[in-house]
Amino acid sequence: MKVSELVEKLGLTVYSGQNGLDREISGGYVSDLLSDVMGNASEGMVWITLQVHQNVMAISSLKDLAAVILVNNLEPQENTIGHSNEENIPLLGTNLPAFEIAGKIYQLLV
């Protein structure tokens, strides 16, 4: 599934990184510790988190993730948006908490 389809199906907000919306999704990962994501997420995953810091995008780029989804209506910091556009990795948002959005994505992907 492409990131754009996920956005459409779940009504996600697209904050930035529109150029990356045709990235293919391989799976998902939920974590708020960036050290953990560095170690355990893999290429093509969508990362569900409440961290809005710009380092989120650096790590997404390092791991070549498909997209980042911010939960609980949290808004990204300005420089996080900047990095998302530079890296062409979509930065998305939902009003749902991590448990619920992860459940919905799991149903769509698996």
Partner 1 sequence: MKSFRTDLHVHTVLSPCGDLEMSPGNIVLTAIRHGLDIIAITDHNSTKQCETVWKLGQKLGLTVIPGCEITSREEVHSLALFADFDALAVFQEFLDQHLTIISNNTKIFGYQLVVDENENIHEEIDWYLGASLDVSIEEVERKVHELCGIFILAHIDRPRNSIFSQLGFIPPELKVDALQISKLADEKGIREKYSIKPEITLVKFSDAHYPGDLGKTFTLFEMENPTFNELRKALMGEDGRRVHIPEASPKPPPKEGA
Residues of this chain that interact with partner 1 (CB under 8 A) are: 33-35, 37-38, 51-55, 58-59, 77, 79
Closer residue to partner 1 (CB): 59 or 71: 59
Q: How far is CA 52 from the centre of its chain?
A: 11
**Shortest reach from residue 91's CB to partner 1, in Å:** 16
Residues 6+ apart with CB under 8 A from 39: none
Contact 28, 48 (CB under 8 A): yes
Closer residue to partner 1 (CB): 33 or 109: 33
Contact 5, 86 (CB under 8 A): no
Closer residue to partner 1 (CB): 2 or 53: 53
